[in-house]
Homo-oligomer: A and B are copies of this chain.
């Protein structure tokens, strides 16, 4: 067959098959999202055509659709910010990836809930394809956040300890695993719930040294815990409100609390004396901004992905428990993603 015709036929078949979960205005995801056909053209010089393999539903994806997130894409937009795909075709000047490579988005806003898309080469980053689709699809937000939280704020050595709340979140589970691989003791706060023993066992299985409830955190017996491990130099906060103030009380002199989420939708409150006399430092972390600041020079990002994939291969970093959904069932997947205490990551499988 004439090669040009084959190309056109392939494009036509691609065009026919491509679908994505699209929103034209902000609102409740169940109201504004629709599965629809997407036009996928052949990549131009610096573009890459990617067949998506899998994409998770993260809380920030939902906030973005609701219009409450700090960064909002132009509308209409395809939902989803994280995921993994396989390179199907590259433009003439593309040098960083080849057909068959696995790629993940570098930045938020790519729109990953789709079967296929054409993206700028600069928007993508190669990942090894010898790791599972589930971990590759969920590597760039939660494990990356956990990696940075443990790397960038306090110098932690084996035997040191850290404390975190929302320990069952995607970031929380990654923190447990990465800290354990570094020999760092983790004190993990969770909300009380019906299946607490199961949850505690699961976090212990990941390497958690101590798992305590918000209620236990407030009890005087907490001091007994610090007979067995040093006071944490680092506190990781994804909640806000009382949970955070209580956690802060146990931080070591001169320690740092990094806030990366606000699940309780309440501010962080800190006694003046903790700042002045305990020399506690507070700051925030947003993985999207961290990556944006390194778009031009990606060495730090590459090193992080290499380190994380190395942990994955050694079995030290496993994907969160997942439910996998065909793209058609995105509405049920979104409903489950918004249900508290399900403790499973909802992942859309594209192929």
Q: Which residue numbers of A lie inside 8 Å of B, CB to CB? A: 70, 240, 245, 259-262, 266-286, 289
Residue of B nearest to A245 (CB): B267
Complex Cα gap A245–B267 (Å): 10
Residues of B within 8 A of A282 (CB): 270, 275, 281-283
- A267 touching B267 in the complex, CB below 8 Å, given contacts A260-B276, A276-B262: no
Residues of B within 8 A of A266 (CB): 272
Complex Cα gap A230–B287 (Å): 27
Could you write out 13 A-B pairs with CB less than 8 Å apart? Answer: A261-B272, A262-B273, A266-B272, A267-B269, A267-B272, A268-B269, A270-B282, A272-B284, A275-B283, A277-B286, A277-B289, A279-B284, A281-B282
B273 near A70 with CB under 8 A, answer yes
Residues of B within 8 A of A283 (CB): 275, 279-282
Complex Cα gap A262–B272 (Å): 6
| 3 tightest A-B CB contacts, nearest first | A275-B284, A262-B272, A282-B282
- A281 touching B281 in the complex, CB below 8 Å, given contacts A70-B273, A268-B269, A268-B270: yes
A279 near B289 with CB under 8 A, answer yes
B277 near A240 with CB under 8 A, answer no
Residues of B within 8 A of A268 (CB): 269-272, 275
A81 CB to closest chain B CB (Å) equals 15
Residues of B within 8 A of A271 (CB): 267-268
Complex Cα gap A285–B283 (Å): 16
- Please pick, from B259, B273, B278, B279, the residue contacting A276 in the complex, using a CB distance under 8 A: B259
Residues of B within 8 A of A285 (CB): 276
- A276 touching B286 in the complex, CB below 8 Å, given contacts A267-B271, A268-B269, A270-B268: yes
A106 CB to closest chain B CB (Å) equals 19
Number of copies: 2
A14 CB to closest chain B CB (Å) equals 37
Complex Cα gap A201–B285 (Å): 42
Residues of B within 8 A of A276 (CB): 70, 259-262, 284-286
- A272 touching B70 in the complex, CB below 8 Å, given contacts A279-B284, A284-B277: no
Complex Cα gap A8–B160 (Å): 59
Residues of B within 8 A of A260 (CB): 276
Complex Cα gap A285–B280 (Å): 10
Residue picked from A266, A272, A274, A277, most chain B C-beta under 10 Å: A272
Residue of B nearest to A274 (CB): B284
Complex Cα gap A340–B119 (Å): 64
Complex Cα gap A275–B275 (Å): 16
- Please pick, from B269, B274, B278, B286, the residue contacting A269 in the complex, using a CB distance under 8 A: B269
Residue picked from A240, A274, A277, A285, most chain B C-beta under 10 Å: A277
Residue of B nearest to A259 (CB): B275
* 20 more A-B residue pairs beyond the given contacts A259-B275, A261-B272, A277-B289, with a C-beta to C-beta distance below 8 A: A70-B277, A245-B267, A259-B272, A262-B272, A262-B273, A262-B276, A267-B269, A267-B270, A268-B275, A269-B269, A269-B270, A270-B270, A272-B284, A275-B283, A275-B284, A276-B284, A279-B283, A279-B289, A281-B282, A282-B283
